[in-house]
Amino acid sequence: MLKTVTGFFRRHLAAMHSADTALNERYIITKSIKHFLSALFRVLVIVGICYTILAPVFGIIANSFFSNKDAYNPMVYLIPQQPTLERYQMAIDILNYLPTMANSLLYSLLLMLLQILICSMVGYGFARFKFPLKSLLFACVVITIVIPTHTIMLPLYMTFRMFDPFGLCTAIFGHPLSFMGTTTPMYILTLFGCGLRSGLYIYIFNQFFRGLPKEIEEAAFMDGAGTWYTYFRIMLPNATPAVITVAVFSMVWQYNDTFYAKLFLMPQSQSIGLRISSLVANIANQYQIMDKTIQNLYLDAGIVLMMLPVVLIYVFLQKYFIEGVERSGIVG
Amino acid sequence: MKKRRLSLESKRKINGYLFILPWLVGFIVFYVRSLFMTVEFSLSDLQMDVVNGGYNLTWVGLKNYIYAFTAHGSFKQILTSSVLNMVVDIPLIIFFSLFMALLLNRKFKGRTLVRAIFFLPVILNAEAILDAIESATAMVATGVSAASQEVAAESAGIGMAYYIDLFGSLMLPKSVLEYIVGATDRITSIISASGVQIVIFIAALQSIPSNLYEVAKMEGATAYETFWKVTLPMITPHIITNIVYTVVDSFVSSDVVTLAYNEAFTNYNYGLSSVFSLVSTLVTCGILLLICGTITKKSSFYN
């Protein structure tokens, strides 16, 4: 058995070098079969996994068009027989869709801009300047990535409940300020580089700036540009891949986040995620729809509404984004 | 009077500090201070001061810790199960994402589309969406109504049991088989948890200089050898990055965090909640150090 196998391979090896055309042809055929099989395997795996990812999304979209009858008809699968837009009507009504969405998007957009500005600055500082304690401080950045915010959620809550850093607020306003129920804590945290996953963004920018050639800056310096001018006019425009990566990440994650929104008791009008989490309860209370299956149809409609802007942004920026992730050296 | 001018070097030092200043202030004011406060809370009994809006601390020493480990009903179980889930999932996610990255790194038609689809779970990671996706997965697999669900479960059940049995007769150890079956059961959650990891690995694969592959080819290395001798050593540091990311990601969504959150904001037992947070963070960091230590030791050939 073993001998035949080794013989088989030896023959193919010989085929590679010999001028024997018949053997050579056979070699080419086995090679192309091999190629075909590996391509087939790849297609199968990719199709299978894409199915696992996309199927639930399609399921949610299909569900949101089901009428009550469809939901209980065992013959109906994915394509509704009596499609209805009633789920969307009610979901838009309960979510107060357009104003909430506008608020939500504005909130994530502003925070995204802040994140880009602050994190790129800090990343640039770590990438291009030499100063004492630099490696220790950068280790601290990594620590902020590794230790989750949940560890410090209580102190954060307490801090912003009575916001009084170094007694500044008492000195100015006469009493500590309470930021509960507003979005201010998030802006403050982001402004000081402690927002949602800021550590990761700093890391991405740092890696990217380290990969840029030093000559660009030297040329700018020779021409008399100051450090800040160089940064804003030369380095930041050159960092477009990293900026796009961070922009999409921070926009989407901020938009999806409900942890901080709940922690700082933000009003429901500010976050569509909060509204979604109370959608089912609202439907049960206001419209007396107690059936779990039917409630879920409304929830699905709400979720489609919530996903819509994110998916649109993603579809438009997708190409730049994935290129950006790959080029920005999210890895070291 | 002659003004002393700063040298270029010290000017750049100051500028460097100016650039990182916002983060430095935030890190000290919000992060370091908060960490100390968490430790302080865990060692005290915290009462909210409703009138003035502040809080009062009473020092109780290790009482909260003793309570959490000896008297609390579910903390130990939840902590163990969260950690176990994490440890079980890490190799699965890492292997899966490495495999997918190798697959996607080749050139083929529709690659952009496939990559876009693979990254979709990262975009749809909101809590509500994840819950809905979970229930929709079951729906798509079996159909909406109860009747068809039963039929589907029956037919699927028989088929699955048969095939699992078939693999069982391959003399595989039972624990290995169960692990694999469990992994395929959770394939959806594994796929949706490995979006970022896949991208990191793809980026890593593309950063390997192509001349290494050329050399390997010239020396007559097979694809198999090339993978073990060139690809794997080159991406070992990124395996560590990915492990860190996976651990942190799965910790954030684990039950321990929910427990700590509920303890603080529904039971108003702030001290105990701090204990939960601290202990689980320490355990996670311990695991991280352990894994990364082992990998760096094993992969000493990396220069």
Of A57, A121, A331, the CB nearest to B200: A331
What pLDDT does A23 receive? 66
Tell me, yes or no, if B116 comes closer than 8 A to chain A by beta carbon.
yes
**Closest chain B C-alpha to A189 CA, distance in angstroms:** 7
Domain boundaries, chain A: 2-58, 91-327
- pLDDT in the model for residue A112: 94
| Whether the predicted interface score ipTM is above 0.85 | no
Closest-CA residue of A relative to B13 is A131
Chain B residues whose beta carbon lies within 8 Å of the beta carbon of residue A38: none
Q: Which of A2-11, A140-149, B220-229, B292-301 has the lowest mean pLDDT?
A: A2-11
Residue B55: list chain A partners with CB under 8 A: 158
pLDDT at residue B141 in the model: 62
Predicted pLDDT at B1: 45
> Sign of the CA dihedral A21, A25, A26, A28?
positive
CA–CA dist B202, B210 (Å, integer): 14
Cα atoms in the 13 Å half-sphere on the side-chain side of B110: 8
pLDDT at B161: 65
What is the C-alpha to C-alpha distance for residues B253 and B257, in angstroms, rounded to an integer? 7
Residues of A in contact with B112 (CB under 8 A): 318-319, 322
Contact residues on chain A for B105, CB-CB shorter than 8 A:
none
Which residue in the set A46, A54, A130 is minimally distant from B13, CB to CB? A130
User: Quick one: pLDDT at residue B147?
Assistant: 42
Using pLDDT thresholds of 50, 70 and 90, give the confidence band for residue B157: very low
pLDDT at A3: 56
Are A74 and B145 within 8 A, CB to CB? yes
Give dist(CA A181, CA B297) in Å, integer. Answer: 49
Q: Given a cut of 60, is residue B2 above it in pLDDT?
A: no
* pLDDT for the residue B303: 39
Q: CA angle, corner B22, sides to B16 and B26, nearest 5? A: 130
pLDDT digits (tens, 9 = 90+) for B265-298: 888 888 888 888 889 888 888 888 888 888 877 6
- What three-state secondary structure class fits B302? coil
The mean per-residue pLDDT over the stretch A265-283 comes to 85
What is the chain B residue with the closest CA to A201? B23
Residue % of chain A over a pLDDT of 90: 9
Contact B148 A307 (CB under 8 A): no
Share the mean pLDDT of chain B: 79
Query: Which residue would you say has higher pLDDT here, A188 or B3?
Result: A188
Q: Say if residue A294's pLDDT is above 60.
A: yes
pLDDT (average), residues A195-222 = 85
Do the Cβ atoms of A57 and B53 come within 8 Å?
no
Q: Hey, what are A322's tokens? A: 């994935």
pLDDT the model gives residue A269: 85
Query: So what's the pLDDT on residue A107?
Result: 92
Q: Which residue is associated with the tokens 């107060």?
A: A96
Average pLDDT, stretch B217-232? 87
SS3 sequence, chain A? CHHHHHHHHHHHHHHHHCCCHHHHHHHHHHHHHHHHHHHHHHHHHHHHHHHHHHHHHHHHHHHCCCCHHHHHCCCCCCCCCCCCCHHHHHHHHHHCHHHHHHHHHHHHHHHHHHHHHHHHHHHHHHHHCCCCCHHHHHHHHHHHHHCCHHHHHHHHHHHHHCECHHHHHHHHHCCCECCCCCCHHHHHHHHCCCCCCHHHHHHHHHHHHHHCCCHHHHHHHHCCCCHHHHHHHHHHHHCHHHHHHHHHHHHHHHHHCCHHHHHCCCCHHHCHHHHHHCHHHHHHHHHCCCCHHHHHHHHHHHHHHHHHHHHHHHHHHHHHHHHHHHHCCCCC
Which among A290, A269, A255 is positioned nearest to A103, based on CA atoms? A269
Tell me if B63 sits within 8 A of B44, measured CB to CB: no
Per-residue pLDDT band at B145 (split at 50, 70, 90) = very low
Which among B20, B200, B204 has CB closest to A126?
Answer: B20
How confident is the model over B256-273, as pLDDT tens digits?
Answer: 888 888 888 888 888 888
Average pLDDT over residues A1-18: 56
Tell me which residue in B19, B26, B203 faces A330 most closely, judged by beta carbons. B203
- Between CA A26 and CA A12 the distance in angstroms is 8
- Count of C-beta atoms within a 10 Å radius of residue B293: 10
- Which of B78, B98, B102, B140 to mutate to probe the A interface, most A CBs <10 Å? B140
Query: What's CA A226's distance to the chain center, in Å?
Result: 35
Asked if A307 and B129 come within 8 Å (Cβ–Cβ), the reply is yes
pLDDT class of B133 with cuts at 50, 70, 90: confident
Q: Which amino acid is at A94?
A: I
User: Are the Cβ atoms of B22 and A122 closer than 8 angstroms?
Assistant: yes
- DSSP lists the bridge partners of residue B46 as B57
- Report the residue of chain B nearest A308, measured CA to CA: B124
The C-alpha of A22 sits at a distance from chain B's nearest C-alpha, in angstroms, of 25
Per-residue pLDDT at B8 exceeds 60:
yes
- Chain B residues whose CB is inside 8 A of the A59 CB are 136-137, 139-140
Nearest beta carbon to residue B136 from set A56, A122, A322: A56
Query: Which residues in chain A have their CB less than 8 angstroms from residue B119's CB?
Result: 318, 321-322
pTM of the predicted structure, to 2 decimals: 0.82
* A91-327 carries CATH number 1.10.3720.10: yes
Q: Which of A75, A100, A136, A153 to mutate to test the interface with B (most CBs of B within 10 A)?
A: A153
Of B9, B22, B55, which is closest to A192 when you measure between CB atoms? B22
| Pairs across A and B, CB distance < 8 A | 270
Q: Measure CB to CB from residue A56 to each of B31, B140, B244 and give the nearest one.
A: B140
Interface test with A, best of B7, B19, B117, B253 (most A CBs within 10 A): B19
Q: What is the pLDDT of residues A75-98, one digit of tens each?
A: 777 788 888 888 898 889 888 889
Interface membership of B220 toward A (CB under 8 Å): no
- Return d(Cα B115, Cα A71) in angstroms, integer: 34
Confidence class of residue B239 from pLDDT cuts 50, 70 and 90? Answer: confident
Residue A99 · residue A269 · CB < 8 Å = yes
| CB nearest to B136's CB, from A63, A137, A191 | A63
3-state secondary structure of B46: strand
End-to-end CA distance of chain B: 54
Beta bridge partners, A226, equal none
The pLDDT of B210-220, averaged and rounded, is 88
The pLDDT value recorded for residue B23 is 92
- Choose the mutation target among A94, A151, A168 for the interface with B, i.e. most B CBs under 10 Å: A151
Confidence band (pLDDT; 50, 70, 90) for A102?
A: very high
pLDDT at A86: 85
**Residue B302: what pLDDT?**
45
Chain-wide mean pLDDT for chain A? Answer: 82
Between CA B263 and CA B162 the distance in angstroms is 45
Residue B297 to residue A207: CA distance in whole angstroms:
25
Give dist(CA B202, CA B107) in Å, integer: 12
